[in-house]
Amino acid sequence: MSKPQDSTPSHTRKLFLGALLVAVVALGLFGPLLGLKTEQNMDNQLVLLFRPWHAIIAILACVAAYLVIQAIKIAAAHREATAKPVAAQPSALGKYLAPGGLSFVFIYPLLVILLVGTSGIPKWVDNFGILILIYVMLGWGLNIVVGLAGLLDLGYVAFYAIGSYSYALLSLHFGWSFWLCLPVAGILAAFWGILLGFPVLRLRGDYLAIVTLAFGEIIYLVAKNWKDFTGGGAGISAPRITFFGIKFDGTPDGFAAWLSWVLSGITTTFGFDPVTIPPAPWYRTMFLYYVIVVLALMTAWVTLRLRRLPVGRAWEALREDEIACRSLGINTTNTKLTAFACGAFFGGLAGAFFGARQGFVDPEGFKFIESAIILAIVVLGGMGSLIGVALAAVAMQGGTEILRELDFLKHIFGDDFKPELYRMLIFGSAMVIIMLWKPRGFVSVRQPTAFLHEKKAIGVDNVKEGHG
Amino acid sequence: MTGAVNPGSVLTVEHLTVRFGGLTAVNDLSFDVRHGQITGLIGPNGAGKTTVFNCITGFYKPTTGLLTMTHQNGKSFYLDRMADFQVTAKARVARTFQNIRLFSGMTVLENLLVAQHNMLMQASGMSVAGVLGLPAYRHAEDGAKERAAEWLKRVNLYDRADDAAGELPYGAQRRLEIARAMCTDPVLLCLDEPAAGLNPRESAELNELLLSIRESDKTSILLIEHDMSVVMKICDHIVVLEYGQKISDGTPEQVKSDPRVIAAYLGVDDSEIESKPEIAELVSEAGAEIPQHKEGGRS
């Protein structure tokens, strides 16, 4: 793409001055921060070490980032100026993203076994796959409240906690199995969602956000301090997931033995030798993986269905204009409560699953930062878009995990460089850059729920974000 | 008043008073909206017209007074005791807003489907049947779409059904808002300045639309309007407010020649009004420009 008008002298000069300014600010920041280091010598004295290269690299990185952002902006302005205005249409990428991503999710564990072997399962399936999918599900659940109904909820992790504790406590006291506890945990979370919904019905925007934030903290503090009930900071153990009653262990009643028996039954019928499957811990991981895939897909399916129903349309209408909703005879109280309840229900399911995966529930997993991450996933993904939220969950959770693998940086910065210390810094900058590039999230079009002639995506300029 | 046989009131406002702190926005107002008629509510800015509207549609609670809605089947509702959404859902009063309130990020069609929420909600079995995809709900939704399409044809927006409502030009948004209100199947339609910002051609189209709503839908209309070309042409009955009080009530001819109305709008004497036929234009402009009241926000 040629852009002669962009390389005029005034543009170059502006870029140069901007880069200079960035360099000066970066020097002021990184000069003392990275360029100087204090160390104790043998006589217990503090000595000042100069590390000019650290600072210079940081400054150059800032300048480069500035230039890249400017280049993107100029290119975008150029494209806007030259390209004829077209309605936002789903690109070919968007068309194949959902089925492609879905197939990938299903074959992902098999790919892991093929590429790294079963030893890679705890890391790549458990830490990556399952964790990301939990956040995908939480993102989709919160998307109902924030993305569709436009109600800003900063305490979503509370429902996740309620789901987890419901599972742990119900199985502890009543011996209920995971599959019985799962729906009950969801329903209990939904019930608490309605309970939270009542006092906040009249609140909007910032005020709603503060109350939901407080609710999240209350649940966390109750879990931490009500020792008789929740076990306090020490937590309580939750039973591991079972394959419909069959445990994943090496005992004669375990999953491996059962699978051997089933497979042997098949092989001997056809005249082959019976097979023996050796017990291995990764069967459970694989099962957990597919359980969370199914749970997350159920969330997506229900959300897609609800969006096309009057209740879903009422949620979106509520986000667009609450007063107009009431003037059309829509009971906004019920509409808000159903949004809270639906969102909380899926949060509760994810929580029960989390308890079964960990085998242990303690309050530390339900701090405010979790709510913030889930909300960031929804906002980053593009509010209301399922694919966007899934992509954002992969970027957020996968990104932070991938950044643990930064050992190659040691070749650049020397062996005493600790890349894990810079993980959150890199991550934060990445988020800032993404929000500059896509202010309304990855997917910034809204798909209509009904059409007469043809389905046209709606540009984000018209879609409101909701006021709480 | 109209001289015709009294067709019965659809809305009766009795001794309506609204106070905001020390300010009396509406003072002891009584009037009737008759079935099958277009009733105009006019008055200078800040006269309390929108306040009356907000009371009728349940957005404000009156300080004192009684608002009774009577359906043709004899059922009656006390609007001042109902929540705002019930006024539309049960008493079947629909309204539009002075500053257009469409769902701008939803398509034109979706706007009209949201308006049929209560009917569809029932058909979807409070969403359960809908989530399961039962045919009963699909039929109901097809019906709702058909009704929406019918209204889109009537307001001349059929071709734009799948565009975002926020993309429509101003006049089209006004028409869509009326179509949306009509999709709630109202007995009384309340329009807050439907002609504001319309050009003369659009204004004439609006007149046609409102007359057709009165004739073929048997919906009574109550409208606030400053545009006298709309008010005088289509209203069967006009109520004039000033400083929250009714100063005149009658047919357009009666109201037009009422000295109190003329004084309220222009502060000139009768002879001047009668000698100049273009005075109607002046009246509308004066209504829009002379700040007469300290009540700032009109909504």
User: Do B166 and B120 share a domain, yes or no?
Assistant: yes
Interface-testing mutation among B127, B147, B192, with chain A (most A C-beta atoms within 10 A) = B127
Number of domains in chain A: 2
User: Using 50, 70 and 90 to split pLDDT, how confident is the model at B124?
Assistant: confident
Beta bridge partners of A317: none
* pLDDT tens sequence across A187-222: 999 999 999 888 887 787 788 889 999 999 999 999
Query: A450 in contact with B at a CB cutoff of 8 Å?
Result: yes
Same domain, B70 and B164: no
User: How large is the average pLDDT for residues B14-37?
Assistant: 91
**Helical pair A386-393 and A131-142, crossing angle rounded to 10 deg:** 140
Give pLDDT, residue A189: 96
Same domain, yes or no: A162 and A231: yes
Looking at the fold, whether A18 and A120 belong to one and the same domain comes out as no
Q: Give CA angle at B208 (B204, B214), nearest 5°.
A: 140
Least confident stretch, A247-256, B67-76, B174-183, B268-277: B268-277
B113 and B203 both lie in a single domain:
no
Between chains, do B85 and A332 touch, taking CB under 8 Å as contact? yes
Cβ neighbours, 10 Å, residue A163 = 32
Same domain, B170 and B31: no
pLDDT, residue A85, reads 46
Question: Given a cut of 60, is residue B286 above it in pLDDT?
Answer: no
Best of B60, B97, B99, B117 to disrupt the A interface by mutation (most A CBs within 10 Å)? B117
Checking if the pLDDT of B217 tops 70, the result is yes
Same structural domain for residues A189 and A312? Answer: yes
Final residue of a structural domain among B134, B150, B184:
B184
Considering the domain architecture, whether residues B246 and B108 belong to the same structural domain is answered as: no
Q: Which CATH number belongs to the domain containing residue A170 in this structure?
A: 1.10.3470
Question: In the listed set B121, B149, B184, which residue is the last one of a domain according to the structure?
Answer: B184
B180 and B295 housed in the same domain: no
Q: CA-to-CA distance for A450 and B103, rounded, in angstroms?
A: 14
CB hemisphere CA count around B241 (13 angstroms): 29
Strands B188-192 and B23-34 turn out to be unpaired
One domain, residues B218 and B287: yes
Q: Given CB atoms, is A462 within the 8 Å cutoff of chain B?
A: yes
Low pLDDT (below 50) residues in chain A: 1-7, 85-90
pLDDT digits over B221-270, tens only? 999 988 887 888 899 999 999 888 999 899 988 988 888 888 887 765 54
Q: Are A156 and A25 members of one domain?
A: no
Where a domain ends, among A51, A82, A113? A82
Inside any domain, residue A270: no
Q: Does residue A290 form part of some domain?
A: yes
Give residue A100's identity as a one-letter amino acid code.
Answer: G
Q: Is there a single domain that holds both residue B227 and residue B129?
A: no
The answer to whether residues B273 and B294 belong to one domain is yes
Q: How confident is the model at residue B289 (pLDDT cuts 50, 70, 90)?
A: very low
Residue B98: inside a domain: no
C-beta of residue A197 within 8 angstroms of C-beta of residue A341: yes
Q: What does the H/E/C string look like for A176-223?
A: CCHHHHHHHHHHHHHHHHHHHHHHHCCCCHHHHHHHHHHHHHHHHHHH
Domain termination site, one of B142, B166, B184: B184
What is the domain range of residue A362?
92-245+278-402+438-459
A183 and A304 share one domain? yes
Residues B200 and B171 in one domain: no
**Predicted-assembly ipTM surpassing the 0.85 threshold:** no
Would you list the DSSP string of A320-348? H-HHHHHHTT--HHHHHHHHHHHHHHHHH
Q: Once rounded to an integer, what is the mean pLDDT over residues B50-69?
A: 91
Encode A374-394: b = buried (16+ Cβ within 10 Å), e = exposed.
bbbbbbbbbbbbbbbbbbbbb
Q: Please list every residue in chain A whose beta carbon sits closer than 8 Å to the beta carbon of residue B133.
A: 305
A309: chain B residues, CB-CB within 8 Å? 120, 124, 127, 130-131, 137
Distance CA A307, CA A63 (A): 45
Distance from CA of B212 to the nearest CA of A (A): 21
Whether residue A419 is contained in a domain is answered as: no
- Please indicate, yes or no, if residue A415 is contained in any of the structural domains: no
**Interior CA angle at B261 toward B258 and B264, to 5°?**
150
3-class secondary-structure state, position A152: coil
The overall average pLDDT reported for chain A is 84
Q: Are residues A76 and A115 both part of a single domain?
A: no
Strand B23-34 to B9-20 pairing: antiparallel
Residues B191 and B169 in one domain: no
Q: Is A465 inside any structural domain?
A: no
Instruction: Mark whether A29 and A64 lie in a shared domain.
Output: yes
Same domain as B77, residue B199 = yes
Residue A254 covered by a domain:
no
Residues A152, A146 contacting (CB under 8 angstroms): yes
Q: Does any domain span residue A252?
A: no
**B134 burial type by CB count under 10 A (0-12 exposed, 13-18 middle, 19+ buried):** middle
Instruction: Please tell me which of the candidates B105, B121, B152 has its beta carbon nearest to residue A320.
Output: B105
Does residue B97 lie within any of the structural domains?
Answer: no
- Select from A306, A452, A463 the Cβ nearest to the Cβ of B127: A306
Q: Which domain holds residue B120?
A: 103-184
Asked if residue A166 and residue A45 are part of one domain, the reply reads no
